């Protein structure tokens, strides 16, 4: 069964890879830190993982890159698994309609961010996880190592340092929410944890496999349960509605899957009950999503017919 599934998808990935070459170099890599600005926008990799962890891909699917906001999915899952419903008293689950680093809604919404995938919301989730574990970034790294079966997966210290050096806006978000009592970890500690999380390096293969628990309705790679079936549905739903910044409507329209992007150029996506995907190409559109990445996922669901709709 697994074998025939694999054989049926690899030609699809090869076809997508050929078609996507026409988009090579479109978009611009994130340039707010030198480590991301220096990456060649022509690079491309894509991986599909089956429910049993079998993974295969095309292009640079085994090349590590800066995962950035893709990790917000995993910190949300870890925090939700420990805290349950109370988490949602500190962060909402509505699309923001604003850029991911926007401050504008926070004041009139009393320091409660719209969702866990904008920076303000991710800072709240990291705060909750740090309170619960004493080591938010270490918990995330351990989880990703276990789920991807890659013991070398780690954060890049240079990227984390660079994020810190350019972290004024995230510091402003954190201090502002602390003024409402919605952040309790000391802000410098929280920022350190958040920037380490953004600086995790992983490949398409690592991320596609590590996302598997969301396609298995909450079940981890070792068969234990991280999330209830309902919580796994919730995380997938928030990915669908808020996972691609203020372009989530367009992503849902084109791709029709729960997805989460990062400014490093990666996007993860979930076909519940079937498989998980990760695509990476660093050229971003004006809303921060990978141009070739969205196009590749659009082609995948169009060719295969696999979508939640």
Residues lying near ligand DON in the complex (CB under 6 A): 68-69, 100-101, 119, 163, 170, 198, 262-263
The DSSP string of 90-157 is TS--S---S-TT--HHHHHTTT--S-TTSHHHHHHHHHHHHHHHS-HHHHHHHHHHHHHT-TT-EE-H
In the complex with ligand DON, the residue whose CB is nearer, 55 or 120, is: 120
CA distance 146 to 226: 12
Nearest approach, Cβ of 268 to ligand DON (angstroms)?
A: 12
CA distance 285 to 263: 10
CA distance 142 to 300: 31
In the complex with ligand DON, the residue whose CB is nearer, 16 or 210, is: 210
Is there a binding annotation on residue 235?
no
Nearest approach, Cβ of 151 to ligand DON (angstroms)?
A: 25
DSSP one-letter code for 30: -
Is there a binding annotation on residue 163?
yes
Nearest approach, Cβ of 73 to ligand DON (angstroms)?
A: 11
CA distance 102 to 15: 38
CA distance 134 to 215: 28
In the complex with ligand DON, the residue whose CB is nearer, 58 or 255, is: 255
Question: What residues contact residue 131 under an 8 Å CB cut-off, 6+ apart?
Answer: 184, 185
State whether residue 284 is helix, strand or coil: strand
In the complex with ligand DON, the residue whose CB is nearer, 137 or 170, is: 170
Partnered with residue 219 across adjacent β-strands are: 225
CA distance 105 to 284: 25
Is there a binding annotation on residue 98?
no
**Four-point Cα dihedral 167, 115, 53, 145, nearest 10:** 30
Is there a binding annotation on residue 194?
yes
In the complex with ligand DON, the residue whose CB is nearer, 76 or 198, is: 198
In the complex with ligand DON, the residue whose CB is nearer, 170 or 241, is: 170
CA distance 161 to 165: 6
Is there a binding annotation on residue 108?
no
Backbone angles phi, psi at 95, to 5 degrees: -60, 145
DSSP one-letter code for 160: H
Is there a binding annotation on residue 12?
no
Nearest approach, Cβ of 224 to ligand DON (angstroms)?
A: 29
Is there a binding annotation on residue 69?
yes
Query: What residue is closest to ligand DON based on CB?
Result: 69
In the complex with ligand DON, the residue whose CB is nearer, 17 or 69, is: 69
Nearest approach, Cβ of 56 to ligand DON (angstroms)?
A: 26
Nearest approach, Cβ of 170 to ligand DON (angstroms)?
A: 5
Nearest approach, Cβ of 198 to ligand DON (angstroms)?
A: 4
Q: Binding site: what residues are annotated?
A: 69, 119, 163, 170, 194, 245, 263
Q: Binding site for substrate: what residues are annotated?
A: 69, 119, 163, 170, 194, 245, 263
């Amino acid at each position: 069964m697994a074998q025939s599934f694999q054989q049926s998808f690899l030609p699809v990935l090869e076809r997508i890879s050929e078609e996507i070459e026409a988009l090579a170099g479109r978009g611009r890599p994130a340039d707010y830190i030198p480590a991301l600005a220096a990456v060649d926008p022509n690079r491309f990799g894509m991986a599909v993982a089956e429910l049993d962890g079998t993974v295969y891909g095309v292009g640079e699917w085994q090349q590590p890159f800066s995962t950035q906001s893709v990790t917000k999915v995993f910190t949300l899952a870890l925090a939700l698994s420990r805290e349950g419903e109370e988490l949602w008293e500190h962060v909402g689950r509505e699309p923001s309609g604003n850029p991911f680093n926007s401050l504008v809604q926070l004041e009139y919404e009393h320091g409660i961010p719209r969702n866990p995938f904008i920076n303000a919301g991710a800072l709240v989730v990291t705060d909750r996880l740090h309170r619960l574990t004493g080591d938010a970034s270490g918990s995330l790294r351990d989880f990703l190592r276990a789920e991807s079966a890659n013991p070398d997966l780690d954060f890049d210290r240079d990227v984390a340092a660079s994020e810190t050096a350019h972290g004024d806006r995230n510091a402003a978000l954190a201090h502002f929410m602390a003024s409402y009592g919605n952040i309790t970890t000391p802000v410098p500690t929280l920022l350190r944890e958040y920037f380490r999380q953004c600086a995790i390096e992983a490949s398409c293969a690592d991320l596609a496999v590590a996302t598997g628990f969301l396609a298995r309705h909450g079940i981890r790679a070792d068969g234990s349960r991280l999330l209830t079936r309902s919580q796994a549905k919730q995380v997938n739903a928030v990915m669908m509605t808020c996972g691609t910044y203020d372009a989530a409507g367009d992503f849902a329209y084109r791709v029709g899957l729960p997805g989460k992007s990062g400014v490093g150029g990666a996007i993860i996506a979930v076909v519940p009950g079937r498989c998980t995907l990760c695509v990476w190409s660093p050229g971003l559109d004006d809303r921060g999503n990978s141009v070739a990445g969205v196009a590749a996922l659009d082609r995948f669901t169009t060719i295969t017919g696999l979508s939640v709709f």
